[in-house]
Chains A and B, each alone.
Chain A
Amino acid sequence: MRLSPDEMILWQHGLLKLNATIVYTWGLMLALAVGSILITRKLSTGLERSRWQCLLEIVVTAIEKQIEDVGLSHPEKYLGFLGTLFLFIATASLCTIIPGYEPPTGSLSTTVALALCVFVAVPMFGIEEQGVGGYLASYTKPTIIMLPFNIISELSRTLALAVRLFGNMMSGAMIIAILLTITPFIFPIVMMALGLLTGMVQAYIFSILAAVYIAAATRTRKPKPAPMPAAVPST
């Protein structure tokens, strides 16, 4: 029984292996990038907009609103990273409808790579917002004794992100594979619909958790400025 699309090797030359994960990942990247380029070629700000532009606008403004709700006050800075995470994982899950397709997020390599991106991005955004000293000092809050626990929680959060996404996607594919050998008619379709739903929920969860971690890292703890004295007329 195949645990992940990593094991489906399509081409091999010495040490270089082209497996299904890589092919499907690049296919998704092509679809997303080419689709966006085609839609954004003729953007209009007037009343006449094409349907595809409206679709993209809905998606982008919804993601921006969600990022703002989490607590990040300038969502446009993080929209590229978090939006891409959501769109990639969501498209990877939605394309399960296409026969012969296996979601690349069902392989531990892809999910660990995405989690490592978040692991690198959180300190990057934190340092950008608070400076190196401020960000490193946040590891010693609330007391210096919490320093090892904060470091361990960083690592375990990343691992949890990777395993959560991998487990959900892999279990969906495996349930359908097992059901196809037992009751191959209607029931696998129901499980496939459930798999689509959990795929979208997991995409949302992954990006919202990344946003929450970034918000925790960029939350500046500047003391509130003293209230200005009432303006006194100079005359």
Chain B
Amino acid sequence: MDSMTIIAVASIATAGLTTGIGCMCPALGEGRSVATALTALAQQPDASATITRTLFVGLAMIESTAIYCFVVSMILIFANPFWNHVIAQAAGK
């Protein structure tokens, strides 16, 4: 296998794996946080504004880790520097 093939296989496999793990783990975290927020809302309905706002801020922080994984996958697929370098080399030959 020449270096072009290795780079392509590694990029594709890593992109898929990154998105897979990056979607599963934040989803678990967000599920737990929403469950706890619902329990808190059931216990104290008059604090619902604060609880809801804090829930959304917490969800956004958890979501951002999923976004990091997504951005890395996109870079690997569409803006891959190693792939561009190898392609430029192959085109130059």
In the complex where A167-B67, A171-B70 touch, is A205 in contact with B79 (Cβ < 8 A)?
no
Q: In the complex, A163→B60 CA distance in Å?
A: 12
Instruction: Determine chain B's interface SS by DSSP, over half rule.
Output: helix
Give the chain A neighbours of B60 by CB distance below 8 A: 164, 201-202, 205, 209
Contact present for B78 and A3 (CB under 8 Å): yes
Q: Does A76 contact B (CB under 8 A)?
A: no
Q: In the complex, A171→B74 CA distance in Å?
A: 9
Interface centre among B49, B64, B68 (most CB of A within 10 A): B64
Q: In the complex, A41→B71 CA distance in Å?
A: 44
Q: Which of B56, B67, B78, B79 contacts A163 (CB 8 A)?
A: B67
Contact present for A167 and B57 (CB under 8 Å): no
Q: Does B3 contact A (CB under 8 A)?
A: no
Give the chain B neighbours of A69 by CB distance below 8 A: 49-50, 53
Question: B41-83: contact bitstring with A at CB < 8 Å (1 yes, 0 no)?
Answer: 0000000011001001100100110011011001000110000
Q: In the complex, A134→B56 CA distance in Å?
A: 32
Contact present for B67 and A212 (CB under 8 Å): no
Q: In the complex, A1→B63 CA distance in Å?
A: 24
Q: How many A-B residue pairs have CB under 8 A?
A: 42
A–B complex contacts, Cβ < 8 Å, 8 sampled:
A163-B68, A163-B71, A164-B64, A166-B71, A167-B71, A168-B67, A201-B56, A208-B53
Contact present for B79 and A3 (CB under 8 Å): yes
Interface centre among A69, A205, A209 (most CB of B within 10 A): A205
Which residues from chain A sit less than 8 Å from chain B, CB to CB?
1, 3, 66, 69, 160, 163-164, 166-168, 170-171, 174, 201-202, 204-205, 208-209, 212
Category for how many chain B residues contact A: 10 to 19
Give the chain A neighbours of B53 by CB distance below 8 A: 66, 69, 208
Q: In the complex, A42→B50 CA distance in Å?
A: 36
Contact present for B68 and A167 (CB under 8 Å): yes
Give the chain B neighbours of A170 by CB distance below 8 A: 71, 74
Contact present for B78 and A167 (CB under 8 Å): no
Contact present for A164 and B50 (CB under 8 Å): no
Contact present for A205 and B78 (CB under 8 Å): no
User: Closest Cβ of chain A: how far from B61's Cβ, in Å?
Assistant: 8
In the complex where A69-B49, A69-B50, A160-B64 touch, is A209 in contact with B71 (Cβ < 8 A)?
no
Contact present for B68 and A205 (CB under 8 Å): no
Contact present for B50 and A167 (CB under 8 Å): no
